Amino acid sequence: MGDTHSKSFFGQNTGLLINSSATSEPFFFIRCIKKKPGGSWEKPSAGEGKVIKCSLDEIVMILQVLNRKQLNWSCYHTYKNNKTSISFGWEDEQAETLWINIANYSKMLNFAQAEILRLLLVHILQEKIKYATCSNGENLNNKMESKFSSEGADHSKNNLNNNITLEKNYKQNLFERDFDESVNQDNQISSIIVSKSKLFKEMTNIDGAIKGETEKALLITFKSGQEIWIPKSTIHCQYIPKKMFNQNFLIDNWILKRNKILA
């Protein structure tokens, strides 16, 4: 088991770097860089690009999307009174293309890349739950070794075995319940089945064009000619923030019916 993890995802113009520097630290870093007009890349060492420090809570919410338990997740990451918008979301109901938006950086991951990111974050979270949540900087192994040396051999061995069993059961229950990995006996990633009936039965794909935008809503012009303000919280897909550009939106049925876009 390595103490540090680093993985990069590069495209033609944008790069995404995931870094966890120590298992004992309850956070990891996401760094975003762009290609400059001259063709060179931004350098994090020179203070260029964008970096955010994600907490354990944020790892859990990102995994909710990567595990296809929700279509998207967004928040404003706050650090020293600076707010950075973050969003992770699937492009459409097939849940094969992932869009990551951090401030003005946008990165697309294909199915394989998204799956690698999912498995990496599951592993990082598992490590940090084990090593970064102990008091006084002690990890679980150190505690058990200290207990073993301070008590009788037989009695300590029983306690050690009990601790290991409890730890394994806790870890198994946590990750089987919330972060189930679809891996078969050959350690090959199985296909992930998206429950369309569960996730998408209350949503509709509909064509439209953005005419206006606020922090919390889009003014969309539909093919019928109707112009309606649609809350961003009811839009479950990534969209191009370009005005009067025809594109597809995945929107909650209730808001469409309330505005008589759907019968």
CATH 2.40.50 maps onto the chain at 202-258
Say if residues 133 and 80 touch (Cβ distance below 8 Å). Answer: no
Percent of the chain whose pLDDT exceeds 70: 74
**Which homologous superfamily does the CATH classification assign to the domain defined by 5-128?**
Transcriptional Coactivator Pc4; Chain A (2.30.31.10)
Nearest-angstrom CA–CA distance, 7 and 19: 7
What is the pLDDT, as a whole number, of residue 135?
A: 63
Instruction: Identify which has the larger pLDDT, 103 or 196.
Output: 103
| Share of residues in the chain with pLDDT > 90 (%) | 39
**Exposed (0-12), middle (13-18) or buried (19+): which is 154, by Cβ within 10 Å?**
exposed
pLDDT band at 133; cut points 50, 70, 90 = confident
Domain with CATH 2.30.31.10 in the chain: 5-128
CATH of domain 202-258: 2.40.50
What is the pLDDT averaged over residues 217-223?
93
- pTM equals 0.57
- Measured CA to CA, the distance from residue 24 to residue 141 in angstroms comes to 12
Q: Among residues 159, 67, 64, which one has the least CA distance to residue 75?
A: 64
pLDDT of residue 199: 56
**Which whole number is the average pLDDT over 208-223?**
91
DSSP secondary structure of 230-258: EEGGGB-S-----BT-EEEEEEEHHHHHH
- Residue 77: pLDDT band (50, 70, 90) is confident
Burial class (CB in 10 A: 0-12, 13-18, 19+), 123: middle
State pLDDT tens for residues 30-71: 999 999 988 899 998 888 999 999 999 999 999 999 998 888
Confidence of residue 227 (pLDDT cuts 50, 70, 90): very high
Phi, psi of 71 (to 5 degrees): -75, -40
